[in-house]
Amino acid sequence: MSSKPQALPVTYLRPPRGWIPLNLSQLWAYRELIYFLTWRDIKVRYKQAVLGVGWAILQPILHMVIFTIIFSRLAGLKPDAGIDPDLYPIFSFAALLPWQLFQGALQRSSISLVANSNLLTKIYFPRLIIPFSAVAAGLVDFGFSFLVLVGLMLFYGVALSWNMVWLPLLMLLALLAALAVGLWLAALNVQYRDVQHMVPFLIQAWMYASPVAYSLDLIPADGPWRVLYALNPMVGVIQGFRWALLGAAPPSQIMWVSVAMVVVLLVSGLYYFRSMERTFADTV
């Protein structure tokens, strides 16, 4: 495989200065590495677990059972207006699905750089690959729990709606939200290990700040409250899921606020990550 001399790529080594371009095209060039790192994360996760991929199904089901007992039976929370209260299990499952996708992606991506420090200090590749592949690794789990959801819907006799075609976009939004925050946390974690202690708490608080166990109806519709609430991008995502699956109210203006928030976090996260990237190998 001798390569032609004129085809050789030229690399310049120079001290980093000033504004660092994002160079997202590099990610495309390294797409196979993203794929392999994602594949590794998925493989390794289930290798030694007796139940293997069964966990991907069990976790949201167990959560659903707990939520149904505590929030529906004991606390008496109701699904959105217009949804049969007996459907609370599906109502919560429809939110748990994107929530767990988001939560897993955020968890993995925020510790991803430190967890892969041996790669960072030995091999060059665009560092963005690491949080990207950490985020992508949750998709397989999502696929399995989605099958459970479809099963549950059939069991409860909920009609499937054409609005479901929007689900992939909503998933993408959840993943981008996780990536955006994950980029910030991953880069910060390289320098401040406090971050990894903070993440579980952050995720827990974030879940209560999202309509996972309860309905958006609890937030006052008049005044600025819903818009403020939707600054949490998972509000748009979850409401979107409930709309597409269960026919809850469409998340119209909420969705725009959530999307705008993700864009802001993502762009700033990418630039912050890139500006810190040069120090990763020296600090991690």
Q: Does residue 10 come out as left (phi exceeding 0), alpha (psi in the -120 to 50 range) or beta?
A: beta
Nearest residue to 96 via CA among 52, 66, 70? 66
Question: Do the Cβ atoms of 122 and 198 come closer than 8 Å?
Answer: no
Mapped onto helix, strand or coil, the DSSP state of residue 111 is helix
Binding site for other proteins (CB under 8 A): 1-3, 5, 8-16, 32-33, 35-37, 39-40, 43-44, 47-48, 118-125, 190-195, 278, 281-283
Give the residue with the Cβ less far from other proteins, 63 or 274.
274
Give the residue with the Cβ less far from other proteins, 2 or 221.
2
Give the residue with the Cβ less far from other proteins, 90 or 120.
120
Nearest distance from residue 284's CB to other proteins, in Å? 8
Nearest distance from residue 266's CB to other proteins, in Å? 23
Nearest distance from residue 277's CB to other proteins, in Å? 9
Give the residue with the Cβ less far from other proteins, 129 or 248.
129
Give the residue with the Cβ less far from other proteins, 63 or 127.
127
Nearest distance from residue 231's CB to other proteins, in Å? 24
Give the residue with the Cβ less far from other proteins, 131 or 233.
131
Nearest distance from residue 106's CB to other proteins, in Å? 19
The H or E element containing residue 279 is helix 252-283
Nearest distance from residue 22's CB to other proteins, in Å? 17
- CA-CA distance, 83 to 91, in Å (whole number)? 8
- CA-CA distance, 31 to 118, in Å (whole number)? 20
Nearest distance from residue 239's CB to other proteins, in Å? 34
Nearest distance from residue 123's CB to other proteins, in Å? 6
- CA-CA distance, 33 to 19, in Å (whole number)? 26
Give the residue with the Cβ less far from other proteins, 198 or 203.
198
**Helix boundaries (H) for 78-138:** 88-115, 117-120, 129-136
Nearest residue to 132 via CA among 167, 189, 180, 168? 180
Where b means 16+ CB within 10 Å and e means fewer, 111-120 reads: bbbbbbeebb
Question: Do the Cβ atoms of 124 and 271 come closer than 8 Å?
Answer: no
Give the residue with the Cβ less far from other proteins, 16 or 220.
16
- Kindly calculate the radius of gyration of the chain based on its CA atoms and give it in whole angstroms: 21
Own/partner long-range contacts of 41-48 (Cβ < 8 Å, ≥24 apart): 41/108, 41/133, 41/134, 41/137, 42/137, 42/140, 45/137
